[in-house]
Amino acid sequence: MRSVPWWVLFSSVCAPLLLVGGWSVSAELQGPGYDPASGTISALAADGADGYWVMTSALLSLGACHLVTAYGLRHAATSGRLALAGGGISAMLLAFFPAPRSGGSFAHGVVVAVAFSLLAVWPVLAVRRGTPAPGREPAREGAPPRRAAPHPCGTAPWGLRPGPSAGASALMWLGGAWFLFALFVLDTAGAAERVITFAQSFWPLVVVVSCARWAGADGNRA
């Protein structure tokens, strides 16, 4: 398995930094009337908001980072890469379907729901399947199977194993439920949204680093 290209690591590092930087600068431009605990990220990118251009640029850049990461993350299953890319495209579409300054927007809500769902399900879809069992190489035609030294980091990168991937996805869905509860009951939707969006932007970095370590360990063994 080839090592992870440097530009994939770069894009996965930039994603959470751009997101946090975008909402931080936008909140400052919005002024003291904006409460990050209750105010959503969508409010920062709403039509007419003082920090509209900053938050919109951050969302476009975030989506581009996810697209680059999905393209270069060859260790992951194709379905997971497509879901990550779809989440990136949905993030970019938020620039074209901004939330209004007052009231709701059906189109904006749909795009947000699609982006969240794709980014919450991609860890499970990206799980690598069909890898050889530890210490056993696939048998060639007409030859008995040969023993091989187990990979020092296991049969798949940590971030693409079923357990961690399912756990990450489950936590993201729980975070989505927390956001809805905070939005309609607690009035702390801003805090909940920041936690879940950061987690979704950070998980690709976890996967990329685990893939780089896994490929590097294999190279060192060779």
Tens of pLDDT, residues 145-186? 554 444 444 578 999 999 999 999 999 999 999 999 999 998
Q: Is residue 188's pLDDT more than 90? A: yes
Describe the chain by its helix, strand, coil percentages, rounded to 5: 65, 0, 35
- Predicted pLDDT at 105: 83
pLDDT more than 90, % of the chain: 68
54 φ/ψ sector (left φ>0, alpha ψ -120 to 50, else beta):
alpha
Contact predicate 58/23, CB 8 Å: yes
Minimal CA–CA distance to 73: which of 198, 205, 202?
A: 205
Task: Report d(CA 198, CA 194) in Å as an integer.
Answer: 6
Higher pLDDT, 74 or 129: 74
Provide the percentage of residues in the chain whose pLDDT is more than 70. 85
Q: Who contacts 180 (Cβ-Cβ below 8 Å, separation ≥6)?
A: none
Q: What is the pLDDT of residues 128-141, one digit of tens each?
A: 864 443 444 455 56
Q: How is residue 151 written in tokens? A: 């990979």
Q: Is the pLDDT of residue 1 over 60?
A: no
Q: Residue 46: is its pLDDT beyond 60?
A: yes
Instruction: Provide the b/e sequence for 105-140 (b: ≥16 CB within 10 Å).
Output: beebeebbebbbbbbbbbbbbbbbeeeeeeeeeeee
* pLDDT of 47 strictly over 90: no
Question: Tell me: the pLDDT tens digits for 77-112?
Answer: 999 999 999 999 999 999 899 888 776 788 999 999
pLDDT of 4 higher than 60: yes
Taking CA atoms, 33 is separated from 27, 36, 37, 79, 194, in Å, by: 9, 10, 12, 43, 18
Q: What is the pLDDT of residue 99?
A: 86
pLDDT of residue 155: 79
Q: Which range has the worst mean pLDDT, 44-58, 112-126, 166-180? A: 44-58
**Which residue shows structure tokens 């996967």?**
207
Mean pLDDT score of the chain, rounded to an integer? 87
Distance from C-alpha of 57 to C-alpha of 54, rounded to nearest angstrom:
5
d(CA 187, CA 182): 5
Q: How many CB atoms lie within 10 A of CB 171?
A: 15
User: Under a CB-based contact definition with an 8 Å cutoff, are residues 134 and 154 in contact?
Assistant: yes
Whole-number Å distance between alpha carbons of 157 and 155:
7
Q: Is the pLDDT at 62 greater than 90, yes or no?
A: yes
- Packing angle between helix 52-72 and helix 6-30, nearest 10 degrees? 160
With the C-alpha atoms ordered 80, 84, 85, 86, is the resulting torsion angle positive or negative? positive
Band (pLDDT 50/70/90 cuts) for residue 142 is low
